[in-house]
Structure 1
């Protein structure tokens, strides 16, 4: 990554320029058996489409608050970087009533209805599948995003000093996210490009977001992001660590 990168979107742009074909996010859901691997290029394409949806169809501007009522998931990672690309504030598990836009998984739709602005629903089904029937009062992300453009250009430059993330009640500026991810990389065990971290942490804390997205992105590494990891036995986990060539493991139980 480049020393001049000041926002999470800058980090993604640098990763794309350096090696677009390498893995960036590999996602497992151990409740469904789902596995998805996204290269830097594929991830960046999803981010561009989502950012275009935000800026165009949803009319999100820099400084607007987007409540993300979503679990640790590859699509959540996409939304975090899309918000960073637009300059919106990604509010993890935030108050929908205080948000300009809410993005909800299938389990949080009722809480999301408190948002008076635009509401987006994610089915979180394998392969990014859509809802069998779109929830009332929402647009289905899987329906809306495929037709968006593959390249994104913000209407206004993103200010690194402006708020970019709220998690566990703590607000971070865009540059602060980048700086903290770099500073904490060694503590996470991310020693340089090529490091691969397996994270079973949720996205409702900074530690979970850093291990599950920002840390690997800031250091040229990659993440094996695992949802419902507690359903996986130790033997199966050991096989995954070996097969995915994982060098660092972060689990909710500290194991």
Structure 2
């Protein structure tokens, strides 16, 4: 069942069955599947951490330096749930920089680091040793947050990405989805040209996304209905 919500958090909540898969990540380090309920909880924790731990207010810019991973999906949704603006590959002029362990050492500014462990475990000693002074492990702050978002507002008309509001991003996703009616499991190859799609496709269609790798065998034995 598709959602007509204009606020991203509301669109995710409107998904019919929260127990069904939302995103499946297929990486060299293994397979990870998150249900709609798990994604909702993760996004709420991230939004709470952004507000209470990292002092991000609605409208502030959050640079995202995360690789093709399920963490990118949850962080996009968490940032938008907090009413903040995602700036892909943004610089030190952003209010906060969110990066993976490999990307973080090259960044300056207010940097927090997201673990790429398949199960989202905190950073290991080697990862911590490579970080610049002042960089924080985001996992510890996020895990301590409630599963339900504390500060909730309608951010339909808040800027979200590339000058588009949340309302507009949801409409763009619905436009992509229209020719693919009946597709419930959408396979996606690594692609940074449509940052919003893996996070929002399941919200507007009720289906799920499979984050594969490059090449014809990028989805292995994972069943998909269509590939973009």
Fold conserved between structures, TM > 0.5: yes
Q: State the Cα deviation string for residues 64-109 of structure 1 (Å, max 9, x = none).
A: 0000011121111111001111100011122x21200110111211
Number of aligned residue pairs: 222
Name which of 193, 211, 217 aligns with 1:225: 211
Q: Tell me, yes or no, if structure 1 residue 209 matches structure 2 residue 196.
A: yes
How far off its partner does 1:130 sit?
Answer: 1.9
Q: Tell me, yes or no, if structure 1 residue 200 matches structure 2 residue 164.
A: no
Gap regions ≥5 residues in structure 1? 251-255
| Contact 1:103-1:112 within 8 A present in 2 as well | no
For residue 253 of structure 1, what is the aligned residue in structure 2? none
More helix by share: 1
For residue 146 of structure 1, what is the aligned residue in structure 2? 143
Mapped to 2, the partners of 1:90 and 1:83 lie a distance apart of 7
Alpha-carbon RMSD: 1.9
Q: 1:35 to 1:53 in 2, by over 3 A?
A: same
TM-score normalised by structure 1 residue count: 0.80
Gap regions ≥5 residues in structure 2? none
1:60-209 map, 5 Å: 60-94=56-90, 96-113=91-108, 115=109, 118-133=110-125, 134=128, 135=131, 136-154=133-151, 157-166=153-162, 171-187=163-179, 189=180, 191-192=181-182, 195-202=184-191, 204-206=192-194, 209=196
How far off its partner does 1:128 sit?
Answer: 0.9
Q: 1:10 to 1:60 in 2, by over 3 A?
A: same
Mapped to 1, the partners of 2:8 and 2:106 lie a distance apart of 28
1:22-61 map, 5 Å: 22-29=20-27, 31-32=28-29, 34-61=30-57
| Contact 2:189-2:218 within 8 A present in 1 as well | no
| Contact 1:86-1:158 within 8 A present in 2 as well | no
Mapped to 2, the partners of 1:39 and 1:224 lie a distance apart of 12
User: In structure 2, the residue corresponding to 1:149 is in which secondary structure?
Assistant: coil
Mapped to 2, the partners of 1:2 and 1:248 lie a distance apart of 20
For residue 225 of structure 2, what is the aligned residue in structure 1? 247
TM-score normalised by structure 2 residue count: 0.89
